Structure 1
Amino acid sequence: MQILKDINSIINIAKQTIEMEGQAILNLSNLITDDFAEAVQLIYHSQGRVIITGIGKSAIIANKIVATLNSTGTPSIFMHAADAIHGDLGLILKDDVVICISKSGNTPEIKVLVPLIKSAKNKMIAITGSTDSFLGQHSDYILNAFVEKEACPNNLAPTTSTTAQLVIGDALAVCLLELRGFSSNDFAKYHPGGALGKKLYLRVQDISSVNEKPKINGGTSIRDVIVEITEKMLGVTAVVENDKIIGIITDGDLRRMLSKVDDFSKLTAKDIMSSNPRRIEAEAMAIDALEVMETNGISQLLVEENGKYAGVVHLHDLIKEGII
């Protein structure tokens, strides 16, 4: 029973943490002012980059915001506040906009860094939970990330406050994304190696072109059909005449044939093929091939290019590429 009690306690603490942070995040919408809109416009119209700085846990959040901005079309660079006052200030160019993240806005590093940024006449945006802090008073725009209490029971470990900072960063990124008209194609350009990017740019021909290209004609013997399917290792072969698809034979077709006839020596491909098989254009998106397979309950699709047989795309190819 003690174990059950411990489990329930853990679950309750987890729920309380999530609820506390959730309420704090919802309250952020009440703290959005004209400063937020003007900061977004400043970044959007800037000819430079966004330099985001912070220290401690805020530095970690700054890194994440940099990654989000870069991936959605706003060039950004992280600069650690402690490193900045020891040489990294050279990262900041004339047209760059600086975002400084700090819960208290009064840490020693921030108090040293902020006047140096201001002296270079760069515009500065503060993300802080204390608008009347040193950082708040010396920034051009304040994005209020105030939270009443950390989720930490001692109200010490940055938990709710860093979540709030992250959400403010996400709100900035999404506003900028909308202003730029950032499309799914743009997203694919910045994420070519990820599964999401592949869904947006990978085409059928990118996959089918590296596969074997099994094909036979209508008069091919069943023995040679079996050999072709076995050698090309795709579980299927196209039946082709004059470079045009007239049918398909799968492993399943062969098994069904064997269950029905004892002697197949006189049968040909045309006798057992499925006519007018499902097919897809080589230029189609790979994600569209997946949709056709799922809709029709099949694992292979024949590929056409300009009306001619061009190969096979297999469900396993899509899995390997991370499309599924």
Structure 2
Amino acid sequence: MSHISLAPDFDFPAAGKRVLADERAGLAQLDQYINDDFRRACEKIFYCSGKVVVMGMGKSGHIGRKMAATFASTGTPSFFVHPGEASHGDLGMVSPQDVIIALSNSGESDEVLALIPVLKRQHIPLICMTGNPESTMGKAADIHICVHVPVEACPLGLAPTTSTTAALVMGDALAVALLQARGFTAEDFALSHPGGALGRKLLLRVSDIMHNGDDIPLTRRDATLRDALLEMTRKSLGMTVICDEQRNIEGIFTDGDLRRVFDMGIDLNQARIADLMTPGGIRVMPTILAVDALNLMQSRHITSVLVADGNRLVGVVHMHDMLRAGVI
């Protein structure tokens, strides 16, 4: 491309706002296409015993990949197949139990059209999403979802802009409608996102990150304050739990309690921890989500919480454990 000079009065923000206005106008047209065809497509996908196979060329292919990924992460097993590769063997990934969603704004994508006779012969349901119901794909489809837009945001009317946005939004509408119909939950979502921050928040339980066994700072009620401080130093959690021999919780002593003790001028070697501890202690069950324990800690302005089964201590969770686990 030859170099040209930028016009001194060219307004980039104004050009950007015109694009947004054109795309908003295009999306406003989509309401009329959430109709009986949309319902039939949702039902066909809902009752599909196989997978949803999404196809599209060029920019429609990029939208198709995102659509397949959204389906897959929201309870509708799905994958993308490139139409060109499908003609050279990849169509073998598609079974009669699957449903095809083919995208093309014009509805005349040669690569997709070449596949339709084979799909028909195998009786694979075909949902086409185009901007023209009278196109070849529109007429060949078992179900056609229209995503027609008045104009492209591209001033030349050439680059797919508003049309690809409309297809993307219609794909989201299908995926979310199916999500709701399936009763898909946040925990279901997390199961397909175990490596992300969301997965950690929705799947990680207190039992997965708590200190247990010998890592728990423990002190008997007949111990001195000095003994309790030595245990707090060894375990480095800024607290110790006062328990009996069966690990039944009697109280808790924290570094905050220690600061108050210093103000009282108490003899560290003579004072008994039972006289200085806070009875009870805030506790959670080991089966609760780590994020729920974090919310409790933040609401109570504490840095650690006891993990207990009834009154029996099984662990301790500190705010630093939440940070290391990526819950925060």
TM-score with structure 2 setting the length: 0.89
**Cα distance per residue 1:211-234 (max 9 Å; x no partner):** 821111122222322222222122
Q: How does 1:1-324 map to 2 (within 5 A)?
A: 9-209=11-211, 212-242=215-245, 243-261=247-265, 263-324=267-328
Output the CA distance in 2 between the equivalents of 1:184 and 1:126: 30
Cα distance change of structure 1 residues 247 and 18 upon mapping to structure 2, 3 Å threshold: farther
Deviations 1:250-269 (A, max 9, x none): 22222232233264221232
1:116/1:299 Cα in 2 relative to 1: closer, same or farther (>3 Å)?
Answer: same
Unaligned 5+ segments in structure 1 are none
Cα distance change on mapping 1:216 and 1:108 into 2, 3 Å: same
Q: Tell me how far 1:209 sits from its aligned partner.
A: 4.7
Structure 2 SS opposite 1:152: coil
Q: Is the 8 A contact 1:127 1:144 kept in 2?
A: yes
SS of the residue 1:98 aligns to: strand
Q: How big is the alpha-carbon RMSD for the aligned residues of Structure 1 and Structure 2?
A: 2.2
Runs of at least 4 residues of structure 1 off by over 4 A? Answer: none
Q: CA deviation at 1:149?
A: 2.1
What is the total number of aligned residue pairs between the two structures?
A: 319
**CA positional deviation for 1:83:** 0.7
CA shift digits 1:5-34 (9 cap, x unpaired)? 99x944444443333323322321112221
Matched-pair identity in % = 42
The one-letter amino acid of 2:220's match is N
| TM-score (normalizing by structure 1) | 0.90
Matching residue's letter, 1:280: V
* Structure 1 residues 137 and 208, CA gap change in structure 2 (3 angstroms): same
User: Match of 2:66, SS?
Assistant: helix
> Which structure 2 residue ranges, 5 or more long, are not aligned?
1-7
- Between 14-23 and 300-309, report the one with greater CA deviation: 14-23
2:212 and 2:20 map into 1 onto residues whose CA distance is 48
Listed one character per residue, the Cα deviations across residues 128-147 of structure 1 (whole Å, up to 9, x for unaligned) are 11222221121111111112
Amino acid of the residue matched to residue 202 of structure 1? Answer: L
1:36-63 Cα offsets, whole Å, 9 max, x none, are 1111111112222111111112112111
